[in-house]
Amino acid sequence: MAKVVHITSAHPANDMRIFKKEAVSLAAAGHDVTLIARYGSDGIVGNVKMKALPESKGRLRRFLSVWRPIKLAMAERADIYHFHDPELILPVIALKLMTGAKTIYDVHENVPKSILSKFWIPAALRPPVAAVAGLVEKLGASIVDGIVAATPSIAQRFPADKTVLVQNMPITGELDSADPIPYHERGRLVAYVGSITIIRGINEIVRALELLPESLGVRLMMAGEFSPLKLERQVRTLDGFKSVDFLGRRDRREIGELLNKSRIGLVLLHPEPNHIEAQPNKLFEYMSAGIPVIASDFPLWREIISETGCGLVVDPLDPQAIADAIVDLLRDPDGAAAMGARGRQATHSRYSWAQEAGKLVDLYARLSR
């Protein structure tokens, strides 16, 4: 078995994909796993050793401090370094050249396309920055020993002989409640969980609430953080916000309890370049919790939802279409409950982390040899 170090400067130590799925699965397979990430202090969580990075305030400071995690990583003298952020490509190449260790680049999103939607980069600079990022990724792909891609469309961007598709599927039962509430006994609660941004549809969702019949008594249970923070002030001025219960950031147990009380899950990303072929974690988490979804009408999402029969797709830019879908599901609780049950079954049979973890463990076995 190998001594493994996962490195991230952008994600918190409790990131679902990095820690609870990948690091924990590799430790369970017998590897000696260390995670270098933003955390309070060094320690051990489960079977994973934690090396704490201090919080870097602001994106520029984080970008300029990428050598800090590399210094910690080098001190670990690992067999395999597995990194999760594009800004670490060049430092990890240097780490590989200095140590001779194997390296893996975990690609969570289509980085050049995501840059085209970054509100904090001036619009005129986004295309050249995206082009440079693509070139850096291409250089990195030619040097690292393995690439882990989160979606099929991401995998197609990298050399097939190095790339393994490890999709971000839910851990079966991870969001189950200890005291499940039967679907028909739940209040008329709609759930939104995740980062709260303009391009994730928050304005359209809240405007849709304004269009719902008052007699339905719908409440939106919203868990997550606004980005940028000033967006919260703007969204609170919308009339539909009076039907919102803003819960802020919640841990995994609390999210499971929230979904256990809800009748519908919303995932209504805008048709941005990086969203069209994405596989949003929240879509599969709502399915795993057994609630029907209302999702953006993108071809890939439509295919998943149509094949499983787990919800409805709508134009994410149309508040009236979102409102109509909410009304349809709430007025047909039998049909909605059946959708939720089909989604839950699909995450057990087709869309589970257990299947993806096996592919990751196999990659490590090959690199260890």
Q: Which residue in the block uniquely carries the two structure tokens 């209302």?
A: 294
Q: Could you say which residues of the chain have pLDDT below 50?
A: none
pLDDT value at position 54? Answer: 78
What is the C-alpha to C-alpha distance for residues 68 and 31, in angstroms, rounded to an integer? 24
Beta-strand relationship, 48-53 and 43-45: antiparallel
Domain assignments of the chain as residue spans, ordered by start: 3-169+352-368, 183-349
Handedness of CA 273, 284, 226, 108 (dihedral sign): negative
Task: Fold for 3-169+352-368, please state it.
Answer: Rossmann fold (3.40.50)
| Percent over 90 (pLDDT), the chain | 92
User: Helix or strand or coil: residue 280?
Assistant: coil
- Cβ-contact 286, 267 below 8 angstroms: yes
pLDDT value at position 57? Answer: 64
- pTM, whole model, 2 decimals? 0.92
pLDDT value at position 148? Answer: 98
CA 150 to chain centre: 10
Cis peptide before 228 (omega within 30 of 0): yes
Same fold, 3-169+352-368 and 183-349: yes
CA 232 to chain centre: 21
The CATH superfamily holding the domain 183-349 is: Glycogen Phosphorylase B; (3.40.50.2000)
Read out DSSP for 155-185?
HTTS-TTTEEE---PPPTTTT--SSPPPGGG
Q: Which residue in the block uniquely carries the two structure tokens 């196999």?
A: 362
* Cβ contacts of 30 within 8 Å, gap of 6 or more: 1
pLDDT value at position 128? Answer: 96
* Cβ contacts of 7 within 8 Å, gap of 6 or more: 36, 37, 69, 70, 73, 81, 82, 83, 84, 85, 88, 92
